């Protein structure tokens, strides 16, 4: 996907995350897409919720120092498939999120690089 992601502070103290853009599949097909999550601070890291009412847990990420970066990972079971996710926050302000999804219904890697607009 090529697009934008926006974090918006909410009165609850959470951040609403919305990504949207143009998705290009390996076979060349393209379409527009979007996704929303809620991010919440937690001791030693953060929690990611699906943006539903009420919010539903996606995963909790504990953050550790990894060289010049901060990193964390978690697993989410979406029966019957499994999402193994990792986050890496770099010193230049960019970060990456990787979701490796495997199971009988899904089998793919989503690797996203985030940079501030204009950088």
pLDDT in tens, 49-107: 999 999 999 999 999 999 999 999 999 999 999 999 999 999 999 999 999 999 999 99
Domain positions in the chain are 1-61, 63-119
CA angle 73–97–29, rounded 5-degree value: 135
What's the CA gap between 86 and 66, in Å, rounded?
A: 13
Q: Nearest-CA neighbor of 112 among 17, 16, 14, 13? A: 17
pTM of the full structure: 0.88
- How high is the mean pLDDT of the chain? 94
């Amino acid at each position: 996907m090529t697009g934008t992601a926006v974090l918006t502070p909410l009165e609850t103290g959470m951040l609403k995350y919305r990504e949207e853009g143009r998705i290009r599949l390996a076979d060349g097909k393209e379409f527009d897409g979007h996704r929303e999550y809620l991010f919440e601070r937690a001791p030693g890291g953060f929690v990611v919720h699906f943006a539903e009412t009420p919010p539903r847990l996606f995963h909790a990420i504990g953050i550790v120092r990894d060289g010049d970066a901060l990193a964390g990972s978690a697993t989410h079971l979406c029966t019957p498939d499994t999402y193994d996710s990792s986050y890496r926050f770099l010193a230049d302000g960019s970060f990456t999120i990787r979701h490796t999804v495997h199971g009988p219904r899904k089998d793919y890697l989503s690797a996203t690089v985030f940079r501030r607009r204009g950088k």
